[in-house]
Amino acid sequence: MIIDIHGHYTTAPKALEEWRNRQIAGIKDPSAMPRVSELKISDDELRETIESNQLRLMKERGSDLTLFSPRASFMAHHIGDFNVSATWAAICNELCYRVSQLFPDNFIGAAMLPQSPGVDPATCIPELVKCVEEYGNVGINLNPDPSGGHWTSPPLSDRHWYPLYEKMVEYDIPAMVHVSTSCNCAFHTTGAHYLNADTTAFMQCLTSDLFKDFPTLRFVIPHGGGAVPYHWGRFRGLAQELKKPLLKDHLLGNIFFDTCVYHQPGIDLLTKVIPVDNILFASEMIGAVRGIDPETGHYYDDTKRYIEGTLNLSAEERFKVYEGNARRVYPRLDAALKAKGL
């Protein structure tokens, strides 16, 4: 089975964005704030957006199941207050749940959290609980910077985040560490802010003893880990200077990387540097990089081609990347598949 652990609902019906624009307008003018009931999206509309986009490409490219979460750039936790974020997260999570019900063999949910700058992350727990217990979500997306590029939150190692970690450990679910839109003009959202955050999250964990407090806590760092694999020697050296254990003992029991790296040399480097047990297949298709690579004639985000093309993986190792590691890192996914006899 080819399991893509990084998918977002980037093709949601236009009505969703229109409702969100009204919600944002309502922050300044409460009389303009829309009711949730005013958002009308039919099952047929959901089917059309999925069948003509994500599902079509999954079939063309040969993937079977996608972990599906709300569009990352639309999370925009910096907009409004907690109530705005809570309402928006609930709407987006419900849409992804409906997609998973319409296409149960192809999509399973990962939850967006209703984070808000300066607000206790414990306020996110009710939405997390609902998404796991009612929607069957198998993971969450955790934004380490709800401020949108200004980095006003404590590092991921701070006790500020511990209430969420405790619930994650209770449910045995991982978090993909994924920021949202940058409202800082110094950082392009997908080209800088995302990759900066991937690298920053890893370093925050490296400089801490977070996983001593939470030995079973698991983070997936997307986009191939940002700069981490390319600068693996730097991080090993920094850990050594800080008198931390070897990275394989200090972090690699808890931190994993996806394959959203959009050229063959990048996947070759990732699979050469990072142990195969820490690599999970992903594409983030119809995401940040949607075009066709003129050097290959194929879509940049058709990452399965790179997994197939690398000489660094055996058949057994490809199985781990495509399926085995995802089942291990996402135990609720494994349980859901086993319940279907898979």
The residues that are catalytic are: 284
List the Cα angle 36/145/224 in 5-degree steps. Answer: 105
Q: How far is CA 69 from CA 144, 201, 272, in A?
A: 17, 20, 29
Name the β-bridge partners of 107.
66
Q: Write out 222-285 in H/E/C secondary structure.
A: CHHHCCCHHHHHHHHHHHHHCCCCCHHHHCCCCEEEECCCCCHHHHHHHHHHCCHHHEECCCCC
- 291 CB burial (10 A radius; 0-12, 13-18, 19+): exposed
> At residue 96, what is the residue type?
C
Helix (H, G, I), strand (E, B) or coil at 73: helix
Token pair recorded at residue 235: 């991080």
Beta bridge partners of 69: 8
Token couple for 317: 């190792």
Nearest to 7 by CA among 313, 227, 281, 204: 281
Return the number of other C-beta atoms located less than 10 Å from residue 102's C-beta.
Answer: 15
Rounded to a whole number of angstroms, the distance between the first and last alpha carbons of the chain is: 9
Reported as type and span, the H/E element at residue 8 is strand 3-9
Distances (CA, A) of 233 to 161, 242, 246, 247: 29, 14, 12, 10
